Structure 1
Amino acid sequence: MKKLRVLLVDDEIMIREGFKRLFDWGAHDCEVVGEAADGMEALAKIDALAPDIAVMDINIPIMNGLKVIQLARIKHPDMAFVIVSGYDDFSYCREALRLKITDYILKPVDYEEFGTCIDNLKIALFRRQSTKEADEQEERPINRLTRYLQEHLAEEISLSVLADEFHLSAQYISQLFKSEIGVNFLAYLTNIRMEKAKQLLLSTSLSIGEVSEQSGYGDYRVFTKVFKKSEGITPSQYRRDFLEKEN
């Protein structure tokens, strides 16, 4: 899998240097290709460098980060954005959601949390790209595998199940996920199950047990444990926080 190209946008040079020195981009299949200190420079660098991801603060000079994203989307609709900000303000979060920003992380940055964000983003970008490629060429094995996972998410799924279904070896399937997506099979499966769970928690009134089952976890206690490890809070708290912010 090719490395994802990253642009860092923050008016504080120490923040940008911190991201470069304290976060292991290579371990997450990424490389920093440029930096910008204000909104206008950010737009120029986006046009010149065509990064896959921009990691940016909201409060930057000349043009704020949200405006940069809004304008950049016109020419670069598939580009991903991660907001890293000192503002814990729901109005910003709501605007970020409207602009389909991948994640919103508060300063000071927890680099473990940031790493999880980047890995999830890598998966999302792969899924988007594979959907496009499926329309342009004969479907590759990895695309067939990931589509099967989406369609059978609530069922018991393992490498052996996929091996039987597609007449491939479990070892080959495992290698495909690592080489094509950049994460192992279990990490990918957990990610899409968590995304499904979050969608159900916010858009339905299903009980936690029902959300657990529809997300592929027969035991809601296991589901709660995995969800908390992924999101930092329990499913109930995730839903409660969203409802409180909405009201």
Structure 2
Amino acid sequence: MFTVLIAEDEPLIRKGIIYCTDWAKLDCAIPLEASNGEEAAEMIRQHRPDIVLLDVNMPLMDGLDALLQTKGLYYFVPIVVTGYADFDYAKRAMYSGVQRYLLKPVVTAELEEAIRFAQQKVEKHRMMTHELARQTDVLQKLGELPEQQGKSQPVRQVMAYVAEHYPEKITIGRMSEQFHYSETLLIRRFKSETGINFSEYLTHFRLQKAITMMRESDMSISQIAEACGFSEYRYFRVVFQKKIGCSPAQYSQEVRLMRNNGNECVE
């Protein structure tokens, strides 16, 4: 169900749009009403409609000024309804993020088409919001890595080495030789100071990098796995599924869907 606000200072036109439109067929609640620009802006703030039909020429504040005052508060799709066919109004409306521009007298078929278009935009935005919440949930599932601050020099050196060389093959033995500590000391210190063993830390670090790459690059999953130090894709897939709760392919698909929705929802 979608919430609609109709901002129109002429009562006959406003009521005509409300009572001559089959809102149930459009999956919309009976619209909210505003009779001037200031009232429209306040109604938007209080009720957060999904779709706003607003007249350009209204008292106290015109429709586009009301739109500009409220556009950044949260997401809604504006549709301009006006008796002015002047192209300057159309240009100003488009600059304000309006993508549908209807002239009075409003034709029912054109209004319904504009509402359907707006609903698609709202649905895509809802989907994007859901995916963003899932992205946050993914990071929460993975958890935070221990910080270097307050750790002993051997542990800080290991963490710094991982940050610089995570795409490569890394072992405690190699770092033991690199920093001239015994393997036993590194293993014991790392576990006692971070709360996790070294292999868990390395896997966690690589997964974080993989998730970032999946969000920000167009690389294939196998390329990302290799770039993050997972030499075998099958192992990467198993670890990802265990830690994140879905396969890398599923997560990548959701990320790309979110990108596409985000690009289409920008106004």
> Which residue number in structure 2 is paired with residue 157 of structure 1?
none
Letter in 2 for 1:30: C
> Which residue number in structure 2 is paired with residue 89 of structure 1?
86
For 2:2 and 2:37, locate their aligned partners in 1 and report how far apart those are by CA, in whole Å: 22
For 1:83 and 1:135, locate their aligned partners in 2 and report how far apart those are by CA, in whole Å: 30
> Which residue number in structure 2 is paired with residue 58 of structure 1?
56
Letter in 1 for 2:40: A
Q: Once superposed, what is the RMSD of the aligned Cα atoms?
A: 1.5
| Structure 2 runs not aligned, ≥5 long | 136-263
Give the CA deviation at 1:69.
0.3
1:111 and 2:118 are equivalent in the alignment: no
For 2:65 and 2:133, locate their aligned partners in 1 and report how far apart those are by CA, in whole Å: 33
For 1:80 and 1:113, locate their aligned partners in 2 and report how far apart those are by CA, in whole Å: 16
Give the CA deviation at 1:37.
0.7
- Aligned mate of 1:100, from 97, 100, 104: 97
For 1:6 and 1:133, locate their aligned partners in 2 and report how far apart those are by CA, in whole Å: 22
Q: Is the 8 A contact 1:7 1:32 kept in 2?
A: no
> Which residue number in structure 2 is paired with residue 156 of structure 1?
none
TM-score, length-normalised on structure 2? Answer: 0.49
For 2:86 and 2:31, locate their aligned partners in 1 and report how far apart those are by CA, in whole Å: 30
Name the SS of the counterpart of 2:38 in structure 1.
Answer: helix
Give the CA deviation at 1:84.
0.6
Give the CA deviation at 1:103.
0.6
For 2:83 and 2:99, locate their aligned partners in 1 and report how far apart those are by CA, in whole Å: 17
Letter in 2 for 1:102: Q
Summarize deviations over 1:226-247 as a string: whole Å, max 9, x none.
xxxxxxxxxxxxxxxxxxxxxx
Letter in 2 for 1:126: E
> Which residue number in structure 2 is paired with residue 29 of structure 1?
27
Q: Is the 8 A contact 2:55 2:63 kept in 1?
A: yes
Letter in 1 for 2:114: C
For 1:132 and 1:49, locate their aligned partners in 2 and report how far apart those are by CA, in whole Å: 19
Percent identity between the two aligned chains:
29
> Which residue number in structure 1 is paired with residue 76 of structure 2?
79
Q: Is the 8 A contact 2:18 2:31 kept in 1?
A: no
Name the SS of the counterpart of 1:74 in structure 2.
Answer: coil
> Which residue number in structure 2 is paired with residue 130 of structure 1?
127
For 1:132 and 1:90, locate their aligned partners in 2 and report how far apart those are by CA, in whole Å: 35
- Give the total of aligned pairs: 136
For 2:57 and 2:30, locate their aligned partners in 1 and report how far apart those are by CA, in whole Å: 21
Letter in 2 for 1:115: E
Structure 1 33/107 Cα, relative in aligned 2: closer, same or farther at 3 Å? closer
Give the CA deviation at 1:33.
4.1
Letter in 1 for 2:3: R
Trace 1:195-210 onto structure 2 (pairs within 5 A): none
Name the SS of the counterpart of 1:81 in structure 2.
Answer: strand
User: Could you say which structure has the larger radius of gyration?
Assistant: 2
Give the CA deviation at 1:135.
2.3
Name the SS of the counterpart of 1:82 in structure 2.
Answer: strand
Letter in 2 for 1:120: F
